[in-house]
Amino acid sequence: MLIVEDVFTSYGMIKALNGVNLSALEGEITCLLGPNGAGKTTLMFTIAGILRAQAGAIKFDGQSIERLSAAKVVEAGIALVPENRLVFPTMSVEENLVAGAFIRVAKDRAGVDDDIERMYTRFPVLKERSEQMAGTLSGGEQQMLALARALMSRPRILLMDEPSVGLAPLIVEEIFQIIRDVNADGMTIMLVEQNANMALSVADKFYLLEHGRVTFEGAPGELEQDDVIRRAYLGTE
Amino acid sequence: MVDFIQNCIDGVMIGAAYGLLAIGFTIVFGVMRRLNLSFGPSIMLGAFFGTWAFLTLNAAPWMVVIITITGTVITGIYVERLCFWAIRRDATIASMVSSFAVWMQLEEVAILMLPGRTYPFPEMFVSGGLNFGPFFFRAEHLTTLLIAVLMVVGIRLLLYRTAFGLALRAVSESPDAAKYMGVNPSRIIFWAFILVSLIGGVAGYLLLATDQQVTPYFGLWVTFKGLIAMMLGGMGSISGAVIGGLVLGIIETQTQWYLGNAFKDMSAYFVMFLVLVLRPGGLLGQGIVERHDLAFRRV
Amino acid sequence: MSDYAVSIVSNMGMIAFIALSAYVLLVVGNISFGQQAYFGIGAYISGVVTAMWGWPLWLAIVLGCAVAGSAALVIGTLTLRLSGIYFAIATLSFAEMIRLGLLSVHVQVEIDGELVGPDGAEGFGDIRWIFENDVTPFEFMTIIYVLLIGVLMVLVWVERSRLGAVIRMVGGDPLLAQAQGIDVVFYRLLATVFAGIIAGLGGCLYAHFTTYIEPNVFNVMLGVHSLAYGLIGGLGTAFGPLIGVGLDIGFLEGIRVFQGYRMIVFGGLVAVLLIFMPRGILDEERVHRIKRWLERS
């Protein structure tokens, strides 16, 4: 569904992505693992159109999207849940959900309202807090809201950048269960994670990113788990 | 050609002082990510204390130097506590506006102390000049350059060879990471302000002793020069600040010579605007504040 | 209403325009030190239109705003890549260039035996529209406030609409906004042009109220003040900057008893206020709570 070919992205003189090749198959959960600084977030931003690659191609269902602006990428059906910036803190939970459906709200207000109801059914906690300012939610609730909000744009693939960061282990379990559920409903997911254990427990396929390049790809059973986890956390020299 | 070179020489001398001012802004912005609009006015107030001492107590030049610098430092502490320490770290605009409000306060204090527009500022302890071929070097300019060079060397040593300097650089990089190292960012910021006030006081003295007069608008003037020099050279580096100062000095003297006073200031702003639009990282920056710097900077 | 009161209230009204202008930019996420440039452009252009060309005031206002808006569009486009302090300094540079440029503009025509027009540092006097049309200060004040209320209505309407939510999103977190599919560039430019027009409108009124303008009026002090109004009054609503203007000018006049110490007192109060309310009196949180309270009752 999503193919990244030979993508190079740099900031001035810092080369963050040095020829990344990977793909995400429809209906699967694909995980990106790797140490800090490997380029995982850069890759997410590049796919989402927030950063522009200097070279390479990104194809989504056959359509080339590497030159599209972020707004157009969202319209194409790709939704990003960025790391750490989960919500608009001064807006209410409900307003955040409406924001997620920004591209549809003018034409299809009724559809958006239906979707909000659907999100409330799936995430009852959000319904309880629907009028509350999003900034006052707990970490886990904010992550849930961010996920719900991304789903509001009716994407065909969901990109998630480090959903477990800053959350207590029990909450992380909850979030990952939700990720499994969303995927079970048919959503393709690409996940960046530091928490290699959690990530590998949901992944259909994973890639190891180091120094801006893919150094390993496979299914969770393939490489001895410990080696992958070691390399994912520490990187090789 | 001779004129051009003479202008470059003069420009470099004045630019050295501008560079010091720019270093002041750079260090404070680096360590706090907030703009101190009261930096210039603090220097102005320090200078007013010096002038007052000169006029009412007949203080000797070296006394004036000390009073100017001390006055700047004390004012700097006041500003730091009220506008920066007391305000939440992420409220950048609030701090800036607060420092603006204090600027108004400082100007009024200065006017109350010495009503009237302009006051004579004691000349430097040296005067006269040197001739070297077709070029003329004013003694005040040479002193400024010498002192500026010494200070820059000193600042570099401080930043790169002392524990304090290391802590300061750590806080500039990431206050949270610095905390894990056992550094107290608030304390570092406080001392950074003291350092910066010292630098500012010296720069202010050098500029005023060359000009031999001072007005309450000196604060605004200093702010502009310092900011422009800092931006020209690229923020976040001492070398950049210095280069920015020198470049600003040269631009000023050249445009003043060839195009007259009216264009002197305008050209500085014009160059500044051009640099920001074309190379926002400054002349020494990496030109990478790109379209998508949204990814890494929040207002 | 005494002449003095009319003058103060009119001043507040005109300054409110530039305060709202800076506020719009703050909401979309940019700190501008340069809105005084558009205020000045509006003033000078409208002055030229009525005093030198003899055209009616409404046309002068339209042209003044058009030029100010266009300038804002140009500058907005050039500064798209900038944010935070870079943007602030760029706007400052632009505003100072305008001010310094105006100091060198000497364009005068002879009307009824007198020279009328911008004369560099000597200023641009004889903008006599209100005299020629027998408009009393009180009537002009009404004009100011009618237009101000118009602008406010537009702002309030925008705030309650999707456009307003989008602008706040862009200002709050541009990256997150992009991730929702919002074209951040477009909305930034839109806000910039709108802010320029508002400031220009204020300038047009200012020129005709005071009948004399000079470049040094449109200096950085005015610019930073306009920022301060929003910060003091609160960035949660368009009424915030108005409160800021009211407090500043009204309070400042009110404490005249502190003659000679006014700025010390006022500056100190502002600094203290910002410690406890860094986003102003009516900040986003407070406004949110007020809205909820109103909805429930």
Q: Which two tokens stand for residue C264?
A: 């010390």
What count of residues does chain A have? Answer: 237
Contacts of C178 (CB under 8 A, 6+ apart): A48, A49, A50, A70, A71, B294, C184
**Contact residues, chain B to chain A, C-beta under 8 Å:** 281, 286-288, 290-292, 294-295
CA distance C5 to C275: 32
3-state SS, one letter per residue, for chain B: CHHHHHHHHHHHHHHHHHHHHHHHHHHHHHHHCCCCCCHHHHHHHHHHHHHHHHHHCCCCHHHHHHHHHHHHHHHHHHHHHHHHHCCCCCCHHHHHHHHHHHHHHHHHHHHHHCCCCCEECCCCCCCCEEEECCEEEEHHHHHHHHHHHHHHHHHHHHHHHCHHHHHHHHHHHCHHHHHHCCCCHHHHHHHHHHHHHHHHHHHHHHHHHHHCEECCCHHHHHHHHHHHHHHHHCCCCHHHHHHHHHHHHHHHHHHHHHHCHHHHHHHHHHHHHHHHHHCCCCCCCCCCCCCCHHHCCCC
Question: The domain containing residue C272 runs over which residues?
Answer: 3-296
**Closest chain A residue to B298 measured between Cα atoms?**
A85
Mapping DSSP to helix (H, G, I), strand (E, B) and coil, where does residue C117 land? coil
Q: What is the CATH number of the domain that holds C231?
A: 1.10.3470
User: How many Cβ pairs within 8 Å bridge chains A and B?
Assistant: 18
- Reported as type and span, the H/E element at residue C96 is helix C84-103
Measure C16 CA to nearest chain A CA, in Å: 25
- Residues on chain C touching B101 (C-beta within 8 angstroms): 228, 266-268, 270-271, 274
Measure A67 CA to nearest chain C CA, in Å: 15
Distances (CA, A) of C123 to A41, C68, C106, C108: 55, 19, 9, 11
Contacts of B73 (CB under 8 A, 6+ apart): B46, B194, B197, B198, B201
Look at A70 and C179 and tell me if their CB atoms are within 8 Å: yes
CA distance C161 to C163: 5
B2-271: CATH, from 3.30.1220, 1.10.3470, 1.10.287, 2.60.410: 1.10.3470
Alpha carbon B62 to its chain centroid, in Å, reads 21
- Which pLDDT does position A226 carry in this prediction? 63
Using an 8 Å Cβ cutoff, are B94 and C278 in contact? yes
* End-to-end Cα, chain A, rounded Å: 33
Using an 8 Å Cβ cutoff, are C17 and C201 in contact? yes
What is the ipTM for the molecules in this complex?
0.84
- Which pLDDT does position B285 carry in this prediction? 52
Mean pLDDT confidence for A93-115: 83
* End-to-end Cα, chain C, rounded Å: 37
A2-85+156-234: CATH, from 3.40.50.2300, 3.40.50.300, 3.30.1280.10, 1.10.10.10: 3.40.50.300
Contacts of A114 (CB under 8 A, 6+ apart): none
Using an 8 Å Cβ cutoff, are C171 and A62 in contact? no
**Closest chain C residue to A97 measured between Cα atoms?**
C180
Q: Which two tokens stand for residue B14?
A: 């004045």
Contacts of C150 (CB under 8 A, 6+ apart): none
* End-to-end Cα, chain B, rounded Å: 46
**Closest chain C residue to B33 measured between Cα atoms?**
C85
Q: Which two tokens stand for residue A223?
A: 């490489």
What count of residues does chain C have? Answer: 297
CA distance C175 to B297: 9
Beta-strand relationship, B135-138 and A188-192: unpaired
Does C183 contact A at CB distance below 8 Å? Answer: yes
- Residues on chain A touching B294 (C-beta within 8 angstroms): 50
- Closest C-alpha to A217, from A16, A28, A14: A28
What count of residues does chain B have? Answer: 299
Mapping DSSP to helix (H, G, I), strand (E, B) and coil, where does residue A138 land? coil
CA distance C67 to C197: 8
User: How many Cβ pairs within 8 Å bridge chains B and C?
Assistant: 141
- The count of domains in chain C is 1
CA distance C125 to C132: 14
- Which pLDDT does position A233 carry in this prediction? 63
**pLDDT tens digits, one per residue of B138-183:** 788 888 889 999 999 999 999 888 888 888 888 887 787 787 777 8
pLDDT-derived band at C51 (thresholds 50, 70, 90) equals: confident
CA distance C83 to C32: 10
**pLDDT tens digits, one per residue of B7-38:** 888 889 889 999 999 999 989 888 888 889 99
Torsions phi, psi for B12 (to 5 deg): -65, -40
CA distance B31 to B173: 8
- Residues on chain C touching B36 (C-beta within 8 angstroms): none
Torsions phi, psi for A89 (to 5 deg): -65, -30
- Which pLDDT does position B177 carry in this prediction? 76
Look at B227 and C94 and tell me if their CB atoms are within 8 Å: no
CA distance C20 to C18: 5
Domain boundaries, chain A: 2-85+156-234
CA distance A68 to A53: 11
Contacts of C158 (CB under 8 A, 6+ apart): C164, C167
- In our burial notation (b when 16+ CB lie closer than 10 A, e otherwise), range B103-137 reads bbbbbbbbeeebeeeebebbebeeeeeeeeeeeeb
Angle, vertex CA B62, rays to CA B59 and CA B67, nearest 5 = 70
| One-letter amino acid for residue C264 of the chain | I
- Residues on chain C touching A100 (C-beta within 8 angstroms): 180
A12 backbone φψ class: left, alpha, beta (φ>0; ψ -120 to 50): left
Interface test with C, best of B32, B90, B299 (most C CBs within 10 A): B299
| One-letter amino acid for residue A134 of the chain | A
**pLDDT tens digits, one per residue of C251-296:** 777 777 767 787 888 889 889 999 999 888 998 888 888 888 888 8
- Residues on chain B touching C96 (C-beta within 8 angstroms): 224, 265-266, 269
Angle in degrees, 0-180, between the axes of helices B2-32 and B218-233, rounded to the nearest 10: 90
Quickly list DSSP for C168-208. Answer: HHHHH-HHHHHHTT--HHHHHHHHHHHHHHHHHHHHHHHHH
Look at C271 and B29 and tell me if their CB atoms are within 8 Å: no
Output A12 or C117, whichever has higher pLDDT.
Answer: C117
User: Could you list the pLDDT tens digit for every one of the 299 residues in chain B?
Assistant: 778 888 888 889 889 999 999 999 989 888 888 889 999 999 999 999 988 888 888 878 888 889 999 999 999 999 999 999 998 887 888 998 999 999 999 998 998 888 877 888 877 776 677 777 777 777 888 888 899 999 999 999 998 888 888 888 888 877 877 877 778 888 899 999 999 999 999 999 989 888 888 888 889 889 989 999 988 887 668 888 899 999 999 999 888 888 887 788 888 899 889 888 887 665 555 443 333 333 333 22
Using an 8 Å Cβ cutoff, are A19 and A170 in contact? no
Model pTM? Answer: 0.85
The mean pLDDT value of chain B amounts to 84
Residue A206 β-bridge partners: A31, A218
**Closest chain A residue to B295 measured between Cα atoms?**
A50
Does C169 contact A at CB distance below 8 Å? Answer: yes
| Residue keyed to tokens 């160059």 | B271
**pLDDT tens digits, one per residue of A196-224:** 788 888 888 988 888 888 888 888 777 55
Mapping DSSP to helix (H, G, I), strand (E, B) and coil, where does residue A177 land? helix
- Which pLDDT does position B298 carry in this prediction? 29
- Which pLDDT does position C99 carry in this prediction? 92
Domain boundaries, chain B: 2-271
Residue C119 DSSP symbol = B
- Residues on chain C touching A95 (C-beta within 8 angstroms): 165
The mean pLDDT value of chain A amounts to 85
Using an 8 Å Cβ cutoff, are C167 and C184 in contact? no
Torsions phi, psi for B259 (to 5 deg): -120, -5
Residue A213 β-bridge partners: A210
CA gyration radius, chain C: 19
